[in-house]
Copies of this chain bind each other. A is one copy, B any other.
Amino acid sequence: MQVGILLFDDVELLDMAGPYEVFTTASRVHARTQTAGADPLFTVTTLARSLAPVRARAGLQLTPDMTLADHPPLDCALVPGGAVTAELRQPQTLAWIAAQRQSARMLASVCTGSLLLAQAGVLDGLAATTHWEDLDELRALRPAVRVQGGVRWVDEGAVVTSAGISAGIDMSLHLVERLHSRDLARRTARQMDYDWQDAA
């Protein structure tokens, strides 16, 4: 399965690194029960508008693997948050998100990534969450979104949104459960020495 994680300038590092760690660790844990040389369960790539390095919010420089215009079809398209003001005005990013809503099996966001999903119009009529500090901003940005606080993530089937920063880890473990099994999600959390908050 293909997992694509969006990168952009001022992305919050843990918003992308949490899901990246969950899906790549799930693959590694899963491989232990497979014959050597079997295909990985998840192939995780980072995607951006261009292949130029981006700077995470606090400065770390990350180099994307592929561009939004040229990547394999995704089973899971993942949109992290961070300081998203500039990205909210990027038509290419918003068009990509809207396209993933049609083509990817799942579209998920972490933290203020849900503002990007809302701006792209893919949350209209759905329940969604974001960082506790930004719930009102999400409501104001797109009144058609049914904003929920006090949850780790909201699963609307094809679209899943998580609360702030570290909640992306809990949501990603939930996505591993949906895409494979609860057993693998639990073993992945154990491998990450992580106390999975597995009640949505």
Contact = CB atoms under 8 A, between A and B. Distances in A.
A103 interface: no
Contacts of A20: 13-14, 58, 60
A164 interface: yes
10 contacts: A13-B21, A14-B17, A14-B21, A20-B60, A21-B58, A24-B57, A25-B165, A27-B58, A44-B58, A165-B192
Contact of A18 (B14, B46, B65): B14
A53 interface: yes
Interface string A160-200: 00011111010000000000000000000001111101000
B57 A63 contact: no
Contacts of A63: 53, 61-63
Contacts of A133: 191
A111 B18 CA distance: 16
Interface string A4-21: 000000001110011011
Nearest to A163: B193
A14 B192 contact: yes
Contact of A60 (B25, B62, B169): B62
Interface in A127-178: 131-133, 163-167, 169
Contacts of A59: 24, 44, 65
Given A14-B17, A63-B53, A195 B193 contact: no
A25 B56 CA distance: 12
A132 B193 CA distance: 8
B65 A62 contact: no
Contacts of A167: 193
A69 to B, nearest CB: 20
A123 B60 CA distance: 29
